Amino acid sequence: MTAAPGGPAPTVGQPAPDFELVNQFGEPVRLSGLRGRIVVLVFFPFAFSGICTGELCEIRDNLALFEDTDAAVLGISVDSKFAQRAYGEKEGFTFDLLADFWPHGAVAEQYGVFDPDSGMAKRGTFIIDADGIVRYVVVNPRGQARDFTEYRTALAGLAGN
């Protein structure tokens, strides 16, 4: 891990902190292993919760938007890989769901989106370009869904480069 725990969220133009987490199938996924592709990190509080499900289902239903720019979508929460797998199967998610389970919320801390009072990740999205540089950041308050049209705008800007 390259960023200090509990640090501020990386800002646009900064290198994205590297990390490795397991996906819902127990397979390791390392951010730096995805260099050469756009990566969309979608931190969400908990699997099976209402707003989170709505947001991730919107991504699922519009996955072509991400695939058209060769973007990898990585959903990240503090849930275990077992919960992530059950959630992914129930909702038909074909993108990776990463378990930031142990150390609890360590990657969310690196990205400045861990809420220690509730033990969950905030709704943070980081779009990282093919060189590993953060190009888009949004962190929404608890209970407020992200605006999906912002993904479209941010990805369109990167696809043109």
The residues annotated as belonging to the active site are 52
Q: 38 burial class (0-12, 13-18, 19+ CB within 10 angstroms)?
A: buried
Residues recorded for the chain = 161
What DSSP line would sit under 53-120, residue for residue? HHHHHHHHHTHHHHHTTTEEEEEEESS-HHHHHHHHHHHT--SEEEE-TTTTTHHHHHTT-EETTTTE
Bond into 103 cis (ω within 30): yes
- What is the C-alpha separation between 105 and 137, in angstroms, rounded? 19
